[in-house]
């Protein structure tokens, strides 16, 4: 007995996989993943930027003594980068190919800008850099998915 015979008389239709129609728009799985990760990274960067703006004096204790720094400018840069990442994620969801290029460049800049903070917040820095590498990988390797 075939699977078609078991459906006879039940009114159920056999499963037909969805075929992509030419010109049909859809966001691929990897692009969706990258967009969601950009939303998360952009949100975290925005929060980090707002925190740096509101509490602009920080103390970093390292191997060479304490360093007191004013991070207001850094906060504005990080906040702006976070907003760019969030807007880029929206562009990816709208299937803009330009948004992919902007995303790769912006997330690479964001990852590089995390390095100076490694001594102050090593786990945060590693988290952001790791997420950035994953997003860049997904946007470049799976470009046509």
Considering the domain boundaries, does residue 93 fall inside one? yes
- Residue 20 in domain: no
Q: Tokens at residue 71, please?
A: 């991070």
Q: Is residue 5 part of a domain?
A: no
Q: Encoding tokens for residue 115?
A: 């390095």
pTM of the model: 0.68
pLDDT at 86: 94
Q: What is the average pLDDT score of the chain?
A: 78
Report yes or no on 108 lying in a domain.
Answer: yes
DSSP characters for the chain?
--HHHHHTTT-PPPP-PPPPPTT-----HHHHHHHHHHHHHHHHHHHHHHHHHHS-EEEEEETTEEEEEE-HHHHHHHHHHHHHHHHHHHHHHTT-HHHHHHHHHHHHHHHHHHGGGTTT-HHHHHHHHHHHHHHHHHHHHTTT-
By residue range, what is the domain housing residue 54?
A: 27-141
Residue 18 lies in a domain: no
d(CA 135, CA 108): 10
The total number of structural domains in the chain stands at 1
> Looking at the domain assignment, is residue 64 inside a domain?
yes
Q: Which residues of 28-39 are buried (b: 16+ CB within 10 A; e: fewer)?
A: eebbebbbebbb
Residue 9 placed within a domain: no
Please indicate, yes or no, if residue 14 is contained in any of the structural domains: no
Is the pLDDT at 111 greater than 70, yes or no? yes
pLDDT digits (tens, 9 = 90+) for 19-47: 555 554 556 787 888 889 889 888 988 99
């Amino acid at each position: 007995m075939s699977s078609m015979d078991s459906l006879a008389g039940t009114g159920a239709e056999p499963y037909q996989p969805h075929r992509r129609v030419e010109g049909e728009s859809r966001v691929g799985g990897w692009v969706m993943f990258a967009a969601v990760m950009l939303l998360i990274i952009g949100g975290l960067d925005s929060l980090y930027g707002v925190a740096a703006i509101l509490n602009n004096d920080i103390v970093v204790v390292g191997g060479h003594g304490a360093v007191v720094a004013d991070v207001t400018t850094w906060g504005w840069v990080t906040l702006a980068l976070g907003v760019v990442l969030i807007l880029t994620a929206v562009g990816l969801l709208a299937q803009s190919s330009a948004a992919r290029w902007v995303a790769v460049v912006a997330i690479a800049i964001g990852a590089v800008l995390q390095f100076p903070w490694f001594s102050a917040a090593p786990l945060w820095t590693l988290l952001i850099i790791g997420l950035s590498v994953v997003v860049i990988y997904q946007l470049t390797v799976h470009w046509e998915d």
